[in-house]
Amino acid sequence: MPKKRILFLYNGGTIGQKHVVKEGQLILVPPKDGREFQQVVEPIINKFSKKMDVKFELVTTKDSSNMSPNDWEKLIFRIKRAQEIEKFDGVAIAHGTDTLEFTSTALALALHGPKKTGLRIPICLTGAQTPIYQEGGDGKFNLENLFLTIDEAIQKGVADVMVNFWNRVLLGCRTIKVSEKDFDAMHSPTYPDVGTIDANGVQIDRKLVRLRENAQQKLTIAPKFGAGVVSIVTTPGTAPDMILGFITSGRVSAVIFRSLGEGNVCSEGEFSLIPVIKHATREHAIPIFITTKHTGGYASSSHYDTGFKAIRAGAISCLDHTDAAVDVKVKWLIGNRLCRDIEAFRKAMRTSFAGEVTEPK
């Protein structure tokens, strides 16, 4: 059988960083270029040389905390070219863990698009809690399994954005980081793991991912992400005047409340956010989205009076999106001009474009 052609993109993060001493303290810093990382991953790539032809390509070496939507767009257009022009069978990406969930969600939304998907190859991202140079760490382990996951995905006809991390394979737009230290750091609390990694290798469940056989022949992307989205963690005593200041500044296009529970916000007294929601939605036509700060939560905003009042005032419930998915999706909806008014945003947050939310019945 012909070798599978894999594009391997090095997109920075801990996995490729180096320890240096600064002011007497040992810290991790990005390398100056990708050559040293390429040299250390070549023995790993060579393990798969009998069945894979892997092309290494440097995108960036920076820490993922410095990523922005501009970086997402670069990856989106690079993947489109890899599929449509260069005819790669899959794309593997090494990425920093701090923002991996944001990038994987952005890729899923942009590549599957608002209409029927044209993505016909698997995309898989991984990262690590320790650099690849560190013995006993997870860098080499996760990177080896990145290629094993891509190989399995190609064999199974997968055409989706995934994340492999430690012993899990996750849907990209459902992934969230749950630990800064544990090797088992990436979970999918509101959607089943799409695959497992164990002594038997990598197994992916075709029923939980999108497949090449169902994709259109042409990849149409929606690659833009809007600005002016403000995310606020609500706490006891969150000042409504402060939030109104953002809204009336003229620079805000949407506000996300990471609520105290399943969509509950303060609804009485001097700290009530209900007047803020009414003012934003009715006077400025600025959508207010309510999600939860709890991992695996469901922002239904319908079980408690505090959430019910927020929805009645005009807020939009974000259901079981991860908080990262809400942030990325709102920017994506704005950037690609997919919603003309608040009701359109409300409908979009109940719509699964890439598997990012469970659509309510």
Q: Tens digit of pLDDT per residue, the chain (361 long)?
A: 789 999 999 999 999 999 899 889 989 999 988 999 999 999 999 999 999 999 999 999 999 999 999 999 999 999 999 999 999 999 999 999 999 999 999 999 999 989 999 999 999 999 999 999 999 999 999 999 999 999 999 999 999 999 999 999 999 999 999 999 999 999 999 999 999 999 999 999 999 999 999 999 999 999 999 999 999 999 999 999 999 998 988 899 999 999 887 778 899 999 999 999 999 999 999 999 999 887 777 776 556 788 889 999 999 999 999 999 999 999 999 999 999 999 999 999 999 999 999 999 8
| Helices 342-349 and 323-335, packing angle to 10 deg | 130
Q: Are residues 53 and 172 in the same domain?
A: yes
Which pLDDT value is given to residue 301? 56
Is residue 124 situated within a structural domain?
yes
Q: Are residues 36 and 132 in the same domain?
A: yes
Residues 350, 301: contact at Cβ < 8 Å? no
Is residue 359 situated within a structural domain?
no
Cα radius of gyration rounded to whole Å, the chain? 21
Single out the residue in 180, 214, 248 at which a domain terminates: 214
Question: What CATH code is carried by the domain that includes residue 326?
Answer: 3.40.50.40
Is residue 219 situated within a structural domain?
no
Q: Are residues 50 and 192 in the same domain?
A: yes
Q: Are residues 236 and 190 in the same domain?
A: no
Is residue 223 situated within a structural domain?
no
Which pLDDT value is given to residue 315? 94
Q: Are residues 304 and 166 in the same domain?
A: no
Q: Are residues 278 and 176 in the same domain?
A: no
Using one digit for the tens of pLDDT, what is the confidence trace for 291-324? Answer: 988 777 777 655 678 888 999 999 999 999 999 9
Looking at residue 208, the DSSP 8-state letter turns out to be G
Q: Are residues 12 and 141 in the same domain?
A: yes
Distances (CA, A) of 111 to 12, 44, 154, 262: 21, 28, 17, 30
Find all residues with CB under 8 Å of 337, minimum gap 6, and list them. Answer: none
Single out the residue in 167, 186, 214 at which a domain terminates: 214
Q: Are residues 233 and 329 in the same domain?
A: yes
Q: Are residues 95 and 147 in the same domain?
A: yes
Q: Are residues 272 and 202 in the same domain?
A: no
Q: Are residues 339 and 280 in the same domain?
A: yes
Overall number of domains in the chain = 2
Residues 316, 287: contact at Cβ < 8 Å? yes
Question: What CATH code is carried by the domain that includes residue 143?
Answer: 3.40.50.1170
**C-alpha span between 152 and 202 (Å, rounded):** 7
Which pLDDT value is given to residue 304? 73
Residues 163, 186: contact at Cβ < 8 Å? yes
**Among the residues of the chain, which ranges form H helices?**
35-46, 69-84, 100-112, 139-155, 240-247, 274-278, 305-313, 323-335, 342-349
Boundaries of domain holding 301: 229-349
Residues 56, 38: contact at Cβ < 8 Å? yes
Single out the residue in 161, 180, 214 at which a domain terminates: 214
Is residue 220 situated within a structural domain?
no
- Which residue, chain included where needed, has tokens 């700060």? 293
Q: Are residues 113 and 241 in the same domain?
A: no
Which pLDDT value is given to residue 295? 79
**C-alpha span between 11 and 185 (Å, rounded):** 19
Starting from the edge strand earliest in sequence, which strands make up the sheet with 288-292, in order?
229-233, 254-259, 288-292, 316-317
